[in-house]
Amino acid sequence: MADQATVLIVGAGPAGLVLGNLLRANGIDTLILERGSRERVQTRARAGFLGANSARVLAEHGLDAGLRQRGQWHYKCAFRDSDGQFELNYAALGRGEVHTVYPQQDLVTDLIAEYLDRGGRLRFDVTVTGVDPKTATVRHLDGQSKGRFLIGCDGSNGVTRAAMPASAVRHARDHGIAWLAVLAQAPPSMSAVTYAMHDNGFAGHMARSPEITRYYLQVSPDDSPAAWPDERVWAELNTRMRVDRFGPLRQGPIVERRVVRLRSDVVDPMRHGRMFLAGDAASLISPSAAKGANLAIMQAEVLAKALTDAVATGDERGLEAYSSTCLPRIWRAQEFSHWMITLLHGPSNGPDAGFQRVLRRARLDSLRDSRSHQDFFAENYVGI
């Protein structure tokens, strides 16, 4: 079977679906190929924190109906350690922006429905076997699909990333840290996102909905989710969140658990031939600062305008500038993510562990006491 489209997109995550919707709004023929089933991509739990720019993009293009109905505004976060707890109202700092908490699987469900309503074509359960960036061709078990432009949104381990030439630079870092990410069928226990630092390791509390809460526990990188039954998860969360001091957690069944390694990488340039990368295919970022979906939406907006200009008028200057436009923002997000990693995680047991531990204490003190540090945090926490 052979399909043709003006723009061929591989991957039905936030990057591919936002891009597809923006292109369809401009009357551009698009086809999205997704390796998973529709049920899988609409139930796959991922990030849920959307920054102000992401909310703006969705609103300006009529993609925020679910967000407006069910999203929750978050304007503060809290930090806990052995010295106590303090909260930062980041909406009152920096640019005065807030997060909108909306589970990514709900956003993806909304985007799929809107894309199909706009006449977009989307094929699920497609096994892609290879791509040709020079001819914008995708080979799969059903034949091949060809476009004028090919957009890779299939993640850091996808076939489009693998098709980048050796001349493309991949800046990569494994931070040597892993989180056990769990979804608990329990209401949030705190009114704010809470970061807890403990000698046992980092723990995090992130609301997802009135009924579901995301928790993180720092674990060994070679740990297995199976080693963390519900009882052990709650016992360790109670310890690291210091419930004896700050009050109990609302507990419930753990409905999902997986180990996430904190890794970062960036491809430069984000283009090869007629193929352009977006989302995790272009820049994987650690979850420490909740930037992944926000970077994907930013890249989709930039790419949509450039592709629209190229299709409508033949002007490809936006496509030529795609990497140089996006990469400074990507690196700014990477820098802040790295800053968060150093703030949240204790030192390894090296010869300078004591020095590193006191240095982290000084970072936290500066964030609590210094208005300029708070403004820096607020601007970067919500924005890119």
Q: Is 221 an active-site residue?
A: no
**14: helix, strand or coil:** helix
Q: Is 74 an active-site residue?
A: yes
Q: Is 287 an active-site residue?
A: yes
Q: Give the pairing type, strands 213-219 and 169-184.
A: antiparallel
Which residue of the set 140, 205, 272, 291 is catalytic? 291
d(CA 74, CA 79): 15
Q: Is 338 an active-site residue?
A: no
How many residues does this entry show for the chain? Answer: 384
Q: How many CA atoms lie within 13 Å of 196's alpha carbon, on the beta-carbon side?
A: 25
- Enumerate residues 6+ apart whose C-beta is below 8 A from 365: none
Which residue of the set 287, 322, 338, 345 is catalytic? 287
Which residue of the set 74, 272, 338, 345 is catalytic? 74
Q: Is 381 an active-site residue?
A: yes
Residue 180's H or E segment, with its range, is strand 169-184
Expressed in angstroms, the distance from the first to the final Cα of the chain is: 41
Distances (CA, A) of 138 to 22, 127, 134, 299: 22, 10, 11, 21
Radius of gyration of the chain (CA): 21
Which residue of the set 195, 215, 216, 322 is catalytic? 195
CA angle 36, 38, 42 (to 5 degrees): 100
Q: Give the pairing type, strands 143-152 and 169-184.
A: unpaired
Q: Contact, 121 vs 5, CB < 8 A?
A: yes
Residues annotated as part of the active site:
74, 195, 287, 291, 381
